[in-house]
Amino acid sequence: MVPGRSARAERAGLRIDRAIAAAAVTALALSILIGVRLGADRLAGTNRPSLAGLRLLAPDDQLVTFEDFELGAPGWQGGRYDRSDPAFGGMLGRFGGTGGREEVSRTYPVDAEARYAMVSFDLHAIDDWALEDVIVFANGVEVLRQNFSTRPDLRATQRSLIADLPWIEARIVPGPETGTERGFAAGGEAEFDQTLHVTLTLVGPPDALRIGFGSTLPDAGTDGASWAIDNFQIITSVRPPED
């Protein structure tokens, strides 16, 4: 059970979150206007079709949030917004080192009936990385540590460390543009950027779910290396996610 989950009193009837309903209607309208992008299935780690990173909802799913950061990054503590490079578009970032501490986070309300929360996002590693980490937190607990190298001689030693906790599962899939220079070129020994698609499944999510990020990059600035988050979404369900 994720830390922060409290005992909940039984509730009569169904609680309808109008904001979630509106978001779901918007997603449906987008799927009609733009069409379903079938190729994104592999990135999302699901056999359901996806639309520009947004997974279509099953009957038992509730959309808590979908953020592509094209219009900003409201609500994120320590967050910043960057849309200066057309190769990336809008994103949460860029960030440098945080000393390994959680310094970027946002808290979301979770429905009382939810038994699973699926958190997914694109994680960008930009410019010259040499096996430093990006760290992901859930309610203050480190759940994933992913290191990067954009240097060819170190890339084979990259690794993902998933916390050995009964309430967390993680899936990491390379994005289609991994290993190319996309933007914000800083020079130095390597300029190849990487993108990973990360999906976290949390069992027994709390009423208030805080997702946070940090990094072990040595420099708090973004001139030499940086990281960013994009296509962030949370879906909750009473049923476990499909493989």
Q: What is the pLDDT of residue 243?
A: 62
Q: Mean pLDDT in runs of 10 for the chain (243 residues)?
A: 58 42 47 34 36 69 96 95 88 96 98 96 91 97 93 83 96 74 55 87 97 96 92 96 75
Q: Tell me the two tokens of residue 179.
A: 């290993």
Closest CA to 39 of 31, 49, 54: 49
Q: What is the pLDDT of residue 21?
A: 47
Q: Residues 43-83: pLDDT tens digits?
A: 333 333 344 456 678 888 999 999 999 999 999 999 999 99
Going along the chain from its start, the domains and CATH numbers come out as: 63-237 (2.60.120)
Q: What is the pLDDT of residue 5?
A: 61
Residues 29 and 9: their CA atoms lie apart, in Å, by 35
Residues 213 and 121: their CA atoms lie apart, in Å, by 12
Q: What is the pLDDT of residue 204?
A: 97
From the CB of residue 207, how many other CB atoms can be counted at a distance below 10 Å?
14
Q: What is the pLDDT of residue 235?
A: 97
Q: How far is CA 242 from CA 60, 61, 63, 116, 121, in A?
A: 12, 12, 16, 12, 18
pTM value is: 0.77
142: enclosing H helix or E strand: strand 141-149
